[in-house]
């Protein structure tokens, strides 16, 4: 009996593996039919195997060198190089799988030609022959080398080497093709692509030539300056000058118009008077008329005023004066008119020249603007066409580069078609002279030894792998504390005395716990249904009563009531006590003979749980004066919640572990569940422990108890035969 284990402590399941340990004799006795069957089956199977494997076998083997670098004819290629060991191993495994591929084996049979009959049987299809050869070949990579071997075994030495060499040659041919897969198709594709590139190149050259002719350039160079840029810059400068000159001409014209307006406002009379004064014809006229006037004055001066001659002279003088005045006026007007006409003519000429200058400047400006517009349009066209020409020139260079690349690839494919590649033949197969195996007796002896070993090891292995609880030490490893007792399985009448002794030991353990802690209420719960809890409780109660301890057995298992507790059909019991319908003293069925005093569960009416079970300690208080111990038969811990409640209510909870049934993992789970419940004290009893009569400590105890003395060790074969 021990208090509950600390939940923080490590699980004792790790202390050792479950099971009853290594007991070869017991295992062979328990599984002797299986051992004999293994031996018989092994012998039956060994005979044909020895006969078949014992015939002489020959092996022809060829070696292929698989290099991590492609062996080229022309130059090395970094793409065809395996740098890492992992990649190389994967590549080697791929080659191993390629050797046994259907197409490779089929090509090998074709290479055999007339010697095809060395492998292919009469009336055998090609597919069947290929599949059979692929299955018979032994292809393996030799570790730490670059070699892959191709081997073929047979009953006859003749022809094996030819078949293996044909397979090696077919593989090497296919390997070269797969390194350069689809060589002919690739060459045809490359040549077709070259024709397309040449056609595209011719079209590009033709278009570039047309653009160069149109633009008047010999070639297209992005670094050369655009000729239209300079012309456009000069035209813009000329337009700027023309605009400046036009503005100046317009300013001069405006100034001229203002000056002429001011000049027209000036009178030309003074100039006319000067010209009249200097006029020769008028001066001559004045001189002639003046002479006549002088003569008349002279003539009239001598005449009286009344003289007719004087009056005639005065009239002529007056006419001369009028004529001179009229001539002077007429000349003045004429000169004035001429001056005005000259001034107007000069003004018109100056204005015409100024207007012509302005028109010329404007025409020049418009012409330059038109020229610039034309240059802009031509520049855009030139730039677009020149850019197109540059693009075509780049395309031409790219096409030529592609053609050179295609030519190089075609040349490489043509040259590398016969290159060794990654794999080549390191050693051809030779006709074997010595068989690699043979000897039917030797093989049969080895097989028989293996059969005997299997017949001995299979039963032992079955028991070693058995995770069930067999003995108290198995339960101790799972629980972490030793059980308070164990009871043997009464498979024979001879075991009854030993079982009675074990029950008495368990009863004494309960008494010791009562004396140590004062515990009165003991709850017995199984792990699985059918663990023998009810029988154990009744027998322990009877045993304690025989020891003089007043003991009451209480059935609290509503899951599966035991009829041995009930006084009769429909009799009330614990269910009525817990619900208050019946006093605990009235529910007791008093013992008679081997049956102890007990309280049945009562009428549960199909309910799997007891109502008011939490009142169990309180309900049993009136019985303390009549009984020293109360043993409660509870339901299984793994299937009923009432078992958990009983474990928390009882002074001591006792796990009933059915040997040969409960698994180690189930017992560990039960222990963890008790850790969570936290009972006051916990113990365990291993029930129905099997006694292995073929050997073991329990068998010796049974024999010594029956004889009353210690027996000498028996022979192992007698133990194995006993039973």
- Torsion sign (Cα): 554, 558, 560, 562: positive
**225: pLDDT strictly greater than 80:** no
Average pLDDT over residues 402-431: 76
Tokens matching residue 508: 């004494």
pLDDT at residue number 135: 92
pTM over 0.75: no
Q: Kindly report which listed range (267-271, 375-379, 473-477) carries the lowest average pLDDT score.
A: 267-271
**527: pLDDT strictly greater than 70:** yes
- Structural domain boundaries in the chain: 20-53+438-464, 58-180+420-427, 227-414, 472-692
Average pLDDT over residues 264-286: 65
Which pLDDT tens digit goes with each residue over 6-42? Answer: 433 333 333 333 445 566 776 777 777 777 888 788 7
d(CA 482, CA 537): 20
pLDDT at residue number 653: 93
Residues 6 or more apart whose CB falls under 8 angstroms from that of 579 comprise 611, 612
* CATH class of the region 227-414: mainly alpha
**238: pLDDT strictly greater than 80:** no
pLDDT at residue number 652: 93
Helix (H) or strand (E) holding 655: strand 652-658
pLDDT at residue number 499: 80
- Per-residue pLDDT band for 553 (boundaries 50, 70, 90) equals very high
Is residue 293 within 8 A of residue 314, CB to CB? The reply is no
d(CA 399, CA 407): 12
pLDDT at residue number 629: 92
659 half-sphere exposure, CB direction, 13 A CA radius: 25
Tokens matching residue 598: 């007990």
Whats the size of the chain, residue-wise? Answer: 723
Tell me the β-bridge partners of 61. 151
Tokens matching residue 441: 């007796």
CATH dotted code for 472-692:
3.40.50.300
In order of 1, 221, 512, 544, 678, the CA distances from 516 in angstroms are 10, 114, 6, 17, 19
Task: Give buried/exposed letters for 197-215 (b at 16+ CB in 10 A, else e).
Answer: beeebeebbebbeebbeeb
Which pLDDT tens digit goes with each residue over 60-110? Answer: 899 988 887 765 555 544 445 676 778 888 888 888 898 889 999 999 999
Which residue pairs from 533-539 have beta carbons closer than 8 angstroms and sit at least 24 positions apart in sequence? 533/557, 533/633, 533/634, 533/636, 533/656, 533/687, 534/562, 534/564, 534/565, 534/633, 536/487, 536/656, 536/685, 536/687, 537/631, 537/632, 537/633, 538/564, 538/565, 538/595, 538/596, 538/598, 538/633, 539/503
The reply to whether 58-180+420-427 and 227-414 are identical in fold is: no
Tokens matching residue 711: 């027996």
Distance of CA 426 to the CA centre of its chain: 42
Tokens matching residue 561: 């009531």
| Residue, of 491 and 330, whose pLDDT is higher | 330
Closest CA to 679 of 558, 480, 519: 519
**150: pLDDT strictly greater than 60:** yes
Which pLDDT tens digit goes with each residue over 446-487? Answer: 878 888 888 777 777 777 777 788 888 888 888 888 898 888
pLDDT at residue number 128: 93
Tell me the β-bridge partners of 551. 629
d(CA 218, CA 475): 105
pLDDT at residue number 19: 44
d(CA 550, CA 511): 11
Which pLDDT tens digit goes with each residue over 83-97? Answer: 677 888 888 888 889
- Measured CA angle at 433 (ends 428, 438), to 5 deg: 120
Place of tokens 């009863």: 507
| Residue, of 556 and 317, whose pLDDT is higher | 556
The verdict on domain 58-180+420-427 having CATH code 3.40.91 is no
Is residue 425 within 8 A of residue 168, CB to CB? The reply is yes
- List the alpha helices (DSSP H) in 121-268: 126-136, 160-179, 183-215, 227-264
Average pLDDT over residues 326-331: 74
Place of tokens 């610039």: 372
502 half-sphere exposure, CB direction, 13 A CA radius: 24
User: Which strand ranges, in their side-by-side order, compose the sheet holding 421-427?
Assistant: 137-141, 147-154, 58-71, 421-427
Residues 6 or more apart whose CB falls under 8 angstroms from that of 585 comprise 622, 623, 626
pLDDT at residue number 410: 75
In order of 552, 630, 644, the CA distances from 614 in angstroms are 19, 16, 11
| Residue, of 300 and 483, whose pLDDT is higher | 483
Biggest alpha carbon–alpha carbon distance for the chain: 229
**48: pLDDT strictly greater than 60:** yes
Give the mean pLDDT of the chain: 78
């Amino acid at each position: 009996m021990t208090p509950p284990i600390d939940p923080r402590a490590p699980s004792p399941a790790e202390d050792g593996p479950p099971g009853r340990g290594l007991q070869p004799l017991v295992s062979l006795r328990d599984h002797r039919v299986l051992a004999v069957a293994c031996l018989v089956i092994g012998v039956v199977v060994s005979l044909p195997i020895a006969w078949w494997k014992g015939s002489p076998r020959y092996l022809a083997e060829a070696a292929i060198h698989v290099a991590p670098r492609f062996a080229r004819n022309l130059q090395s290629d970094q793409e065809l190089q395996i740098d890492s060991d992992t990649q190389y191993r994967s590549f080697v495994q791929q080659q191993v799988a390629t050797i046994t591929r259907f197409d490779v084996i089929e090509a090998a049979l074709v290479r055999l030609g007339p010697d095809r009959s060395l492998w292919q049987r009469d009336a055998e299809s090609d597919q069947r022959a290929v599949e059979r050869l692929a299955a018979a070949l032994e292809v393996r990579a030799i570790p730490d080398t670059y070699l892959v071997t191709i081997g073929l075994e047979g009953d006859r030495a003749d022809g094996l080497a030819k078949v293996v060499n044909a397979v090696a040659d077919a593989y090497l041919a296919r390997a070269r093709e797969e390194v350069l897969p689809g060589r002919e198709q690739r060459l045809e594709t490359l040549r077709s692509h070259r024709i397309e590139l040449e056609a595209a190149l011719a079209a590009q050259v033709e278009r570039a030539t047309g653009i160069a002719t149109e633009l008047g350039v010999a070639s297209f160079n992005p670094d050369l300056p655009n000729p239209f840029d300079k012309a456009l810059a000069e035209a813009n400068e000329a337009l700027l000058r023309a605009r400046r000159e036009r503005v100046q001409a317009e300013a001069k014209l405006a100034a001229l118009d203002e000056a002429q307006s001011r000049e027209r406002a000036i009178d030309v009379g003074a100039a006319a008077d000067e010209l009249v004064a200097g006029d020769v014809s008028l001066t001559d006229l004045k001189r002639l008329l003046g002479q006549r006037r002088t003569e008349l004055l002279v003539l009239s001066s001598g005449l009286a005023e009344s003289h007719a001659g004087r009056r005639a002279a005065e009239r002529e003088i007056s006419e001369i004066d009028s004529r001179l005045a009229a001539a002077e006026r007429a000349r003045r007007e004429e000169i004035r008119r001429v001056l005005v006409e000259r001034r107007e003519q000069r003004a018109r000429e100056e204005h015409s020249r100024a207007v012509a200058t302005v028109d010329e400047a404007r025409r020049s400006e418009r012409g330059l603007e038109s020229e610039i517009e034309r240059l802009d349009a031509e520049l855009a066209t030139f730039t677009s066409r020149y850019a197109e020409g540059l693009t075509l020139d780049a395309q031409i260079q790219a096409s030529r580069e592609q053609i050179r690349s295609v030519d190089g690839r075609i040349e490489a494919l043509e040259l590398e078609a016969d290159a060794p590649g990654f794999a080549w033949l390191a050693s051809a197969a030779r006709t074997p002279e010595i068989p690699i195996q043979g000897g039917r007796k030797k093989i049969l002896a080895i097989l028989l030894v293996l059969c005997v070993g299997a017949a001995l090891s299979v039963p032992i292995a079955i028991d070693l792998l058995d995770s069930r609880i067999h003995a108290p030490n198995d339960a101790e490893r799972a629980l972490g504390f030793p059980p308070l007792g164990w009871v043997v399985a009464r498979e024979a009448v001879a075991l009854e005395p030993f079982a009675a002794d074990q029950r008495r030991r368990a009863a004494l353990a309960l008494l010791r716990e009562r004396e140590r802690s004062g515990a009165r209420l003991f709850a017995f719960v199984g792990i699985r249904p059918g663990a023998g809890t009810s029988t154990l409780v009744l027998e322990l109660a009877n045993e304690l009563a025989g020891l003089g301890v007043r003991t009451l057995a209480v059935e609290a298992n509503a899951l599966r009531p035991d009829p041995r507790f009930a006084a009769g059909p429909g009799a009330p019991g614990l269910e009525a006590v817990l619900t208050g319908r019946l006093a605990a003293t009235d529910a007791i069925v008093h013992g008679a003979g081997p049956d102890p005093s007990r309280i049945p569960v009562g009428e549960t009416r199909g309910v799997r749980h007891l109502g008011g079970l939490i009142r169990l300690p309180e309900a049993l208080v009136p019985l303390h004066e009549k009984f020293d111990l109360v043993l409660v038969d509870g339901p299984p811990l793994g299937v009923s919640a009432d078992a958990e409640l009983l474990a928390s209510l009882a002074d001591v909870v006792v796990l009933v572990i059915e040997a040969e049934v409960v698994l180690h993992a189930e017992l560990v789970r039960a222990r963890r569940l008790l850790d969570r419940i936290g009972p006051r004290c916990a113990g365990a009893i291993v029930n129905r422990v099997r006694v292995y009569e073929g050997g073991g400590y329990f068998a010796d105890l049974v024999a010594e108890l029956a004889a009353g003395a210690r027996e000498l060790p028996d022979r192992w074969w007698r133990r194995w035969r006993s039973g």
